[in-house]
Amino acid sequence: MICLYMKLSLIIPTYNEKENIRILILKLEEEFNLNKIDGEIIVVDDNSPDGTGIILDDLKMKYVFLRVIHREGKLGLSSAVVAGFNLAKGDILGVMDADLSHSPEKVNEMYQEIIKGADFVVGSRYIKGGKIEGWNIYRKLLSLGATLFARVYTSVKDPMSGFFMFKKDLLLNKEINPKGFKILLELLIKLEYKQIVEIPIVFINRTVGKSKAGTREIIYYLENLIKYLPYKKEVIGEFLKFILVGLVGTFVNIIILYSFTEYYNVYYLYSALLSFVVAVTVNFILNKIWTFNEKIGYKIFQKYIKFFSVSLFALSVNIFFLILLTEVFGLYYIYSQILAIGMSLVINFIGNKIWTFCK
């Protein structure tokens, strides 16, 4: 169904954004006028010590489409966004950062996607045409790592984005956890959307002010990741099947290693190489048809190569941690190996789920 008149509520959380907010509101007004968007802007300010709230009250006099929520203190990004959702009058809800990292010109592009029929639009840094400017390598790696974990739950390429839009109806009867920084992932997991579109965005790191993402946000994030498991029960099922398949593979590996070495007098390291290849192949086939429910012939060579690469990577992670824990941390080597196997197992699973067998 195509609805031409849908009101947009754009939520912008602020904490110490006095240098940015005025410019952003001005640009958004231009965008709304230019593209004839019927929209309101709801800024949720957490009593910013730098006086952002005072500036907002001043701006409110000038811009009729601007609404401001003042909260008593820094209560967190996700909860600010949820507070905005609760007051929104629009049919479409949008979220963007206040620090000019998200280009106001993209608002219309996203809005048009919804008008055309999408019920969720994500501004994505990790698809063709998208990128991040101005982050150091540490921040990039952290974001990429967090994103890879999140992709276990969603096929959206940038579930950590802070720039997105969706139809408000989707929120009906849903309970959204307001703790943390990653509200988009929360929504992607809990809302039942049918048509989702990712459009490329260039994320430009703020030039003034500081990022509010800290260690606490990382801890909340990891906590939330575990809490999401019950919402995606199939992930637990897949993981258990993956472990069972791994056990079968280990069994096959030992049988081949033993029989080639003992009965065919092959040098044991050559047998080990052979048994590794056979075990990986058996694992591949079982995971393809059983764990991830695919037709055996579907892209079999391409997927076999991916599966093999992930297995090799997981093996190197295993060896790396075995050595690290034993040599550097002085752990008994059997304990080291148990931990190392656990880690490589998780990596093996995630790698194959989101890359080899991604839907």
Residues that bind ligand GDD (CB under 6 A): 13-15, 17, 44-46, 74, 76-77, 80, 97-99, 101, 143, 160, 162, 181-182, 206, 211-213
43 within 8 A of 59, measured Cβ to Cβ: no
Measured from the CB atom, is 27 or 206 closer to Mn ion? 206
Measured from the CB atom, is 101 or 336 closer to Mn ion? 101
For residue 164, list its beta bridge partners.
95, 122
For residue 13, list its beta bridge partners.
44
Residue 76 interacts with, from ligand GDD, Mn ion, none (CB under 5-8 Å by kind): ligand GDD
- Report DSSP state, residue 245: H
Residue 307 interacts with, from Mn ion, ligand GDD, none (CB under 5-8 Å by kind): none
Q: How many CB atoms lie within 10 A of CB 124?
A: 23
> Mask: binding to Mn ion, 74-93, rule CB under 5 A, as x and -?
--------------------
Smallest separation, CB 13 to ligand GDD (Å) = 3
CA–CA gap between residue 4 and residue 9 (Å, rounded): 16
Smallest separation, CB 78 to ligand GDD (Å) = 9
Which phi and psi (to 5°) does residue 200 adopt?
-70, 140
- Contacts with 191 (C-beta within 8 Å, 6 or more apart), sequence order: 120, 166, 170, 171, 174
Measured from the CB atom, is 95 or 286 closer to ligand GDD? 95
- CA 270, chain centre distance (Å): 41
Decide if residue 17 touches Mn ion (CB under 5 A).
no
Decide if residue 99 touches Mn ion (CB under 5 A).
yes
Smallest separation, CB 61 to ligand GDD (Å) = 21
Decide if residue 101 touches Mn ion (CB under 5 A).
yes
Torsion, Cα 347 140 215 338, to 10 degrees, reads 20
Write out the residues near Mn ion by the rule CB under 5 A. 99, 101, 206
